[in-house]
Every structure is written in C-alpha cells, then in structure tokens.
Structure 1
Amino acid sequence: MGINEALAEIFALERQDEDHFVVQPVDSEMQRTFGGQVAAQSLRAAQLTVGAERPAHSLHAYFIRGGQPAKPLHLDVRRTRDGRTFSTRHVTAVQDGKAIFELVASFHDPEDGEEWQPSEPLDVPRPEELPSYRLPSWFGDIPNFDIRPVNPLRDEEFPLRHPFWFRSLDEVAEPALHPCVLTYVSDVAVVDSSRAPGSAVRYATAVSLDHAVWFHRPARADEWLLYSMDSSINHGARGLARGTMRTLDGTLVASIAQETLLRPAR
C-alpha cells in the first residue's frame, strides 16, 4: 500500500453531521490503537470545521483510555470559538460510548512578524548517510515512512531511539494533511524517550498521559525532518519528554512535549 492510499484510509473521516465524524477500523496487529493515529485523526476532524486558510498552530491532548483498533472511532467536535484571527476546537474521541482521547486545537490566520530561532546547527549525519529502519510488523504499514535513526538499529529492533530522520515515501498532496502526518509521527518512540538517561529500571506500566505539538512554520511531511526527543524529568512515576522537528537546514518547524506514566515493576 502506498502512502497516498494509506493516508486516504487513515484520514477517511465519514461526516455524520456538521461536527460529528466516524473513522472505520484500520487493519493493525496492535492490541491498542496507536495514540499518534487518534491524535492525527482528531486534528483532521477539527480541521474540517475550520477554513483551509486558517492552519493549525498548536494542539494539546490527553490519552484517557486505550483505543481498540477493531472498532469504529467517533470524533465529536465542539466549536469553542471563531475569532478574527484564531479558531479553537475541542475534539472528543469516543468508542463504546466512552471517551478515550481529548484534544484541543488552535488555528491561526498567517500573519507577518519578527523571524528568530536559536542558532543550533544540526550535528548529526544527514539521512542519505544512514540506513533505513522499518517499524516492527505489528506496528502496521499505515502510513508508510522512510525512517533513518541517527544511531542505527537492527531491522525491527524496538523501541526506536531518538533522534531520527523521517519522511513519508510519496507526495502528500493536500497541504492540510502535513500537520496531521507530523502529529502521527510525533507520538513515535516518545515514551522511551521520557525515561531518565541510562535508566535500567524495568517498568510495569509505560504509557502516554498527555501530548502537545506546536506548529511553528509550514512543513512538508514528505521531505526530510529530524525528530529529536529528550527526557526533562522523572518524578512520582511520571516522566516528561520535550523535543523538536527540524528541516535539513536546521529550521525549527515544530516543538513537542509529552508526559508519560512510568510505574516501576515491583
């Protein structure tokens, strides 16, 4: 399955009414729906209630329950506000009548402003210098990415380690889908990145609690981006990872943060 067909399947939201969408099950070997998939689909639902001229600039989300890949996903959008330059949407993802995920997304009309970012050259090999890595078969092929870990791993060794280069294998034609695809990838290998560096603790529970993405500039998901996440703190069975997505020339296009639940095995 090519990326265009895969994206079409993942983002085939059936509009039941103006603000209610249904996503049919997508084949997966996972026992729980990948969180990045639910986040990406929820952002897409929010997009469809906002004009295309007002792109998303941030999202903040909570993982409430594990999703079930074999069941339809209902996405209920609440139009919190439509202002002169900003729109806010609240999306609740529901299965079996219970909320499994909550997302608040904000959209902003493009404006002129001062251009600045920290000067941080990319001190890593370029993607063409690195071997490709394939996510484990149970992860599924939807969507399909070319992934190049900076510290190469054996094929299907998991968890994948940050940082890594990624891009979708074929062109993503619709501009609004690029932040959705970035949202999908933003949840890849993040839980392990929230562990304390060098930690050998064995965890009985290691799951995502909440997730945030800030889209600073338009970026193409079908061109190389470097995704890097690092742990900020571990305390009280919770970890926090923060990171960035950058283009080949080091331009910062997105920032990401995720809190995780890390319960040591007893």
Structure 2
Amino acid sequence: MPGKGKHRRPKSRALSRGLVAAGAGGTALVLPVIGASVASAQTAPQSAPAAKTSVTASVLAKKAGTTTYTVVAGDSLSKIADQLNVSGGWKKLYRDNRKVIGGDPRLIHPGLKLTIGKKAKAAPAADRANRSKRATTLTAGKSAPAVKPKKKAYTNDLDGWIKESLDVMAKHRIPGSYDGIHRNIMRESSGNPLAINNWDSNAMAGTPSKGLLQVIDPTFFAYHVPGTSMDSYDPVANITAACNYAADKYGSIDNVNGAY
C-alpha cells in the first residue's frame, strides 16, 4: 500500500496555475491559464452605440431653421411668439402662417399646427371652412354696416312727377293720393309744368300762379318741403308744396275740387 499522505489536490489560484506542455526540445513549458473572470471582462462585447435618428432629426431641424408648434387651449399668437422667442413677434408668426390661420389672427384653435421660421402651406379646405364658421360666430351680434339704398328712379313725365312727390310727401306725412293730385293738376295746368297765369288778381298783384298746381311764390316758399327744389316751376317741388298747403287748409289735396 502506498504510504499515508494527502490525496486531495490543493486548490490553486486561477492566475497561478499553468498548463504543462512539451516544448520542441522536450523542455516543459508552463502556460498561464487566464481566470474566467478576467476573460469575461476582456471579451465582453461593448454596448451598441445609441441610435442617432433623433439627434440627426434635431440637427436637420436646426439646419432648416424651422419647427412646428401645435396650438393648445388658451394660446394666442402673442403668447406663442413670446414663448418661442419668435423674431418679429406675433406679427411675423401670423405672416408666416397666414395661409393656415386665415384672415383673422385671433382665430387660432387647439390642434392647429404653426410653422416657426418658415411660411406654412395653405390649410386644407375643411379647416378653412371651420375658420369661416368661427369668423361668422365671432361677428354674430355685431350690427352690419348700413347699406345705402339705391335711389329710386322715376320717369320724367307727369306720372313720374306725381309718384316722386307722393314718396316725398310720405316721408313728411303729408296726406294725398295719386288720383287727387292728378285731378287737380289737369284742372289747373293740363299737365304743363311751365304753365303761368298772367291775367287773374294774383297776376295783377305781381304774384302770378305757376307750375302744375298753379301756386303763387309766397305760398310756394311758405309751404316748400325740404329736399325738393327751390324753383317753383320744378314739377316735384310744385306738387309737394301745393299738397302741403292743401293739407293745411283743406285736410288733403283730395278734398280740393276747384280753385283753392
């Protein structure tokens, strides 16, 4: 039996152990064995480089000099321009995005995309329609500018003169009808606006009766209706003054059936 001794192989450190190999000349060579922990540290693959997509995109955005801002509730062009330090302020921001915003810089809404630093493309038709509706709502309740009505046209004849006179009389609340005026004109002047009476007592007194309804000058000027000519021969002025006088003396030209 072999002699008693230690049969358990003593532990050796990873770095102190070696492998014995025969060299070419028979000499034993001791090759160091690298420990597992060291090998692991040296052979562990390096972590993959970070993705450069976002960085590249950021650089491109800076090179282009533009960025996009999405409007949120409570925003205004002035507020956005201040937050983003827009050179030229809200006016520049509006000019660059006018095709998107539309004609009113107040009409921005949440979700609207504004381009900072470059003019934006025109907004889709649906978006423009929505802005139009908002503009209508914004202006609702405001009185529309007064539209001056076109001046009514009248024919330059007896029919037109009477109709124009009736419209003037209506504005001044002077009573009278077409038939009443026409009847008295035909009796007094036969429809001649230049008719004049040079033979009666008025003519003898130096104030002859003139025009369609044969009115003397003192009566014409006393009952002249504003807005008509100061010429007593003017057909419309003559009719309205005579009807004004008849309304004062007889209640209406319709009540006149003879010399008045």
Which one has a bigger Cα radius of gyration?
2
Task: State the TM-score, normalizing by the size of structure 2.
Answer: 0.16
Task: State the TM-score, normalizing by the size of structure 1.
Answer: 0.16
Higher helix share: 2
Higher strand share: 1
